[in-house]
Amino acid sequence: MIDLGTQPGVPTLPAVTLSLDEMDYLVDTLALDVLPVVLDATPRYDTYDARDAAFRGAAGTLAARDLLPGGGVHPELADRLRVLARPLWEIALRWYVDGSISRLCVSQGEALSVLALRAGDTYVVQDAGTDIFAPVIGALGAVEPMNVGVVNAPTASLGEAFDQGGDGKSLAAALAALGVPAVDATVLGNAMAGCTTYAEIVGIVYGDGQYDPVGGPVTVFDTGAGRIVGTSSVSAHGVAWSSLSAGTPQRLRQALESLADRLR
């Protein structure tokens, strides 16, 4: 027997690219009240006439791509969007590159994991696959890890050091004052002072109409000296601590797995 790939649980719909109007139309048609905050899906029309005109255009382009079979939303696309609107939990990524922001989330449903990306005025919605961390790692790309030791410090103190501004020398001095070895403080200070490419990755648990971010976000900094991965935790005494380490692929995956463990 020829396997057509239609057995239960195997997606037959490939990744779907949607315009802003197409996404708005689908959300309205499926009566979804919300999409993940990270996707920044907000109302864009001041009048019903403008919205209705946009929706008519969106319906036409969706139908032309066979995404409205029989006038209804393609079942697999509808399932994906419903998971986005009401997941069990979600991993959300904001990826900043020289001031521009790309957005991604992996939403976990009862029987389906969905990957949604937004860059500019375009969304991509697809099945996330069995390895839910691969899309996040893939979105960040491959960058050589920074040659630096592990830095551990209270989150508040480390935040103050980075927020003070200034050049690499002053940041290195602030890090050294927190107990970071001089060599690592110099490398880290010089690299972070000019860093404009970084990611914030958070986990969110949903339930009873609420959503609650869990502690311990993951941060990724791509500097001229290599990649750094940051994680955080809370001590037994209630003090938040942050850790910065060389951003190897293994360390990034480990950080994401730890984040997901707190969501389940």
Any idea where the domains of the chain sit in the sequence? 16-140, 151-261
Which residues, in sequence order, are CB contacts of 241 under 8 Å at separation 6+? 152, 153, 154, 155, 232, 233, 234, 235
- Segments in the chain below pLDDT 70: 1-10, 209
- pTM flag (> 0.85): yes
pLDDT of residue 216: 81
Q: Quick: pLDDT tens for 232-260.
A: 888 778 888 999 999 999 999 999 999 99
**Predicted confidence (pLDDT) per residue in 108-120, tens digit:** 999 999 999 998 8
Distances (CA, A) of 78 to 27, 32, 148: 9, 10, 46
What pLDDT is recorded for position 2? 32
Nearest to 194 by CA among 224, 149, 226, 172: 224
Three-state SS at 6: coil
What pLDDT sits at residue 1? Answer: 28
Other beta carbons within 10 angstroms of residue 135's beta carbon come to 21
Q: Which string of DSSP letters, residue by residue, matches 205-227?
A: EEETTEEEEPS--EEEEEETTEE
